[in-house]
Structure 1
Amino acid sequence: MILVVTEPSDRTANQVIAKLKARGADVARFDPADFPSRASMSVALDARGGQTVTLTQAGERIALHELGALWYRRPHAPVPHAEVDEAHRGYLEAECAHWMWDIWNLLPCRIVPATPSVIARADLKAAQLAIAGAVGFELPPTLVSNDPDEFLDFYRRHQGRVISKAPSTLFNNHFGGALARYTEPVDRFELGHAQSIRFGPVIFQAYVPKRIELRITIVGRRVFAAEIHSQQSQRARHDWRHYDLANTPHARHCLPAEIEQCCLLLVQRLGLCYGAIDMIVTPEGRYVFLEINPNGQYQWIEHLTGLPISEAMCDLLMAHEPRHPLPSPAPADCMGACA
């Protein structure tokens, strides 16, 4: 069985689940928001550490220790029973989330993209930049700091051509989409507010000129590269996440072999079997790494370019055993844009 751990309105998961079922796979779905009020989970260990791990939801009992694979996709946080008073709800939410992390890290099956603890480590921006540089990527000069003097020195050294962005997704998550923090150039007006940096860390990077941007999706050992022509849109030119799709062409991209290998090596070094990498291709043709999202979205890329990412995800989930060799790369995945 394959278990997909996600929230109910996840359209990407819906598509992959339909494809898996069409292939004859046994698939179940679990929303952690149903725990503990509408679902129960148990772990039993014998004297030698043998494990029986079960999930019961909607009258169905699933032996988690027998899963072939688990897709840790877009899980909601646990929601305590309605009768739990406010004084204890926060504690129970944290305890239930901690318990589920324990269970996911315990399971012997392949977990895509990885166990929650590995995902959390891979999402640390300064650490992933250091690893990306070590595997061979070019990086933009970067400062992560809450020191106003460090920032002003960085700004001067790069002649004011600097961008800022949040050091994590916590800002966007905290405000639930009501507010969002995008990558933006630092302008002279903001220099007058430099002292506000002391309230919390910010990522600053030297501005990298863009010809195109890339979204590179790695599924197992298969690499799917798409180019995003963000410079054709005034709205998306500094951050394509503004999603001006009508004015931002997307297309398949043929990666140089050395860049493709760097992508695969980075995902491996981070302990992942899936990742979404963002890069810039400069007007001179340099490939500059920005970041990797261990659980990044891809459905819009698949829709606009025809890259068969969902099919590759099905292949990965149906490979089952964690020690099973990952699916071999198909030449068309990477080379189709070169034909």
Structure 2
Amino acid sequence: MSPPHVLVLTRDNDPHADRVRHLLAGRGARTTVFDNRDYLTRAHVELAYTARGLARRLLHTESGTLDLDSLTALWWRRPMPPEAHPAITDPSVAAYTAQESVNLITDLWEHLPCRALPARESVVRRAAHKPSQLMLAAELGFEIPETLIATQADALWDFHNRHDGHIIAKPMGTPWVESLAGGHTVIRKCDFVSARDLAYAEALRFCPVIVQQYVPKRLELRVTVVGRRVFAAEIHSQSSNRSQVDWRRYDFGVTPYGVHRLPDEVARRCLAMTDRLGLAFGAFDLVLTPDGRYVFLEINPNGQWLWIEELTGLPISEAVCDLLLEGA
């Protein structure tokens, strides 16, 4: 019998994929790594159909040819989108060929007859929508922050006044802004809405924004669901001024991390939410308030975990490996 074969879709320099690939190799599984960006430049896809249907699906790369129907699992990690071939110099033609490549590659990975982690790409993208997440979380019994999503200055002012100014803003989806002119990237995190921000409230009409009531924190939690396993880590973000509003402003020398004993009811809600979203993996951000309430902030359907594993010892990579090999 052939060994399990996992296709990992990710970009260069992905330590999460490297860790799991090492574990898979230790269990005798084969792995192939591919980045969608290399399609047309360093790789080619061959799809053939007879009068009765599909005949073959092949991926030709510099290292050889892969029969895509022989795969036992597909891990949609963090691939880049396909790019136009560098020989194409006309920008409009380059954009057209890149989009046609996206159309093919996206559909190709959607229909392979093997396990997909965290899910098919279309499911992952749909699960990342924050407005739908909030509605589903509340339906499942999570407490959520009072939230406003709007493009009107008056609505923002009213929300700010009702909460005595204790509100934060967060991106709707994309957490960075790339400046084409300046050649630099600005990362957006959660921040308090200041009086200076309110002076520019009319600019909301150009782009939607999420604002939420600030939730007081005893701890912040990163809860990683892998299949039916739940790994909860506590982040003592209030120990550092830098990480108090958003723990992603890391201050490892001051901010303790540890394993958290998540109440069974909260763990069940996390599992129910990944089930409803169609995910086999999800990284939840929760807040434990000073008075002991667990508040849902969001779920990242393809979130990072390696730093949590290294700081707490939680065997998340092993669980991902287990899931990729399950049923193979």
**TM-score normalised by length of structure 1:** 0.91
Give the counterpart of 1:62 among 60, 66, 69.
66
* Correspondence for 1:180: 187
SS at match of 2:186: coil
Cross-structure match for 1:224: 231
**Matched residues in 2 for 1:118 and 1:177: separation?**
31
Amino acid corresponding to residue 171 of structure 2 in structure 1: A
User: Which structure has the highest helix share of the two?
Assistant: 1
2:102 partner amino acid? A
**Map of 1:298 onto structure 2:** 305
Give 1:189's aligned residue. Answer: 196
Residue 260 of structure 1 aligns with an amino acid whose one-letter code is A
Range that drifts further, 195-204 or 44-53: 44-53
Distance 1:177 1:118 in 2: 31
| Structure 2 residue ranges without an equivalent (≥5) | none
Q: Cα offset for 1:320?
A: 4.2
What is the rounded CA distance, in whole Å, between the counterparts of 1:297 and 1:68 in structure 2? 23
Identity of aligned residues (%): 47
Name the counterpart of 1:6. Answer: 10
Q: How does 1:178-257 map to 2 (within 5 A)?
A: 178-257=185-264
**Residues 177 and 185 of structure 2 are in contact (CA less than 8 Å); yes or no, is this contact kept in structure 1?**
no
For 1:128, which of 126, 130, 133 is the aligned residue?
A: 133
Counterpart of 1:64 in structure 2: which amino acid? Answer: L
Instruction: Look up the equivalent residue of 1:134 and give its one-letter code.
Output: E
- Residue 330 of structure 1 is matched in structure 2 by none
What SS class does the counterpart of residue 151 from structure 1 fall into?
Answer: helix
Say if 1:59 and 1:250 are closer, same or farther in 2 by CA, change over 3 A: closer
What amino acid is the match of 1:158? H
Q: Which has the higher strand share?
A: 2
Are positions 1:149 and 2:157 aligned together? Answer: no
Structure 2 matches for 1:109-124, cutoff 5 A?
109-124=114-129
Counterpart selection for 1:260 from 251, 262, 267: 267
Partner letter of residue 16 of structure 2?
T
Judge conservation of contact 1:53–1:65 (CA < 8 Å) in 2: yes
SS at match of 1:247: coil
What do you get for the CA RMSD once the two structures are aligned? 1.5
- Tell me the amino acid that sits aligned with residue 102 of structure 1: D
Counterpart CA distance in 2 for 1:199 and 1:289 is 28
The residue that corresponds to 1:289 in the other structure is 296
Q: Identify which range, 39-48 or 290-299, moves more after superposition.
A: 39-48
Deviations, residues 227-273 of structure 1 (Å, cap 9, x unaligned): 01100011111001111111111100011001000000100101110
**99-108 or 51-60: bigger deviation:** 51-60
Aligned residue type for 2:201: A
2:146 alignment partner AA:
P
- Aligned-partner Cα distance in 1 for 2:102–2:255: 39
Q: 2:224 is paired with a residue of what secondary structure?
A: strand
Give the distance between the partners of 2:52 and 2:265, measured in 1 at CA: 46
TM-score (norm 2): 0.94
Shift of residue 17 of structure 1? 0.3
Residues 40, 56 of structure 1: 8 Å contact kept = yes
Which of 99, 104, 114 aligns to 2:104? It is 99
Question: In structure 2, what is the Cα distance between the partners aligned to 1:22 and 1:274?
Answer: 22
- Summarize the Cα distance change of 1:64–1:156 in structure 2 as closer, same or farther, 3 Å threshold: same
Residue in structure 1 matched with residue 23 of structure 2 by the alignment:
19
Change in 2 beyond 3 A, CA 1:44/1:174: farther
Task: Tell me if structure 2 keeps the 8 A contact 1:109–1:320.
Answer: no
Q: 1:71-110 deviations in whole A, cap 9, x for unaligned?
A: 1101012122211113311122222122111001111211
Task: Note the alpha carbon deviations across 1:22-44, whole angstroms, 9 max, x for none.
Answer: 11111111121211111011222
What's the offset of the Cα at 1:280? 0.3
Contact 1:163–1:186 (CA under 8 A) maintained in structure 2: yes
Segment of structure 1 superposing worse, 72-81 or 276-285: 72-81
Q: Do 2:177 and 2:186's aligned partners in 1 also have CA atoms closer than 8 Å?
A: no
- Counterpart Cα distance in 2 of 1:320 and 1:36: 33
Return the alpha-carbon distance in structure 2 between the equivalents of residues 55 and 283 of structure 1: 53
CA contact (8 A) 2:38 2:83 kept: yes
Q: Which stretch shows the higher mean deviation, 267-276 or 188-197?
A: 188-197
| SS in structure 2 at match of 1:254 | coil
Q: 1:35 aligns with which of 32, 39, 42?
A: 39
Q: Secondary structure at the match of 1:80?
A: coil
Q: Tell me the distance in 1 between the aligned counterparts of 2:327 and 2:104.
A: 24
Give the letter aligned to residue 217 of structure 2.
Answer: K
Contact 2:221 2:287 in 1 (8 A): yes
2: CA distance between counterparts of 1:49 and 1:214?
48
Deviation of the 1:160 alpha carbon: 1.5
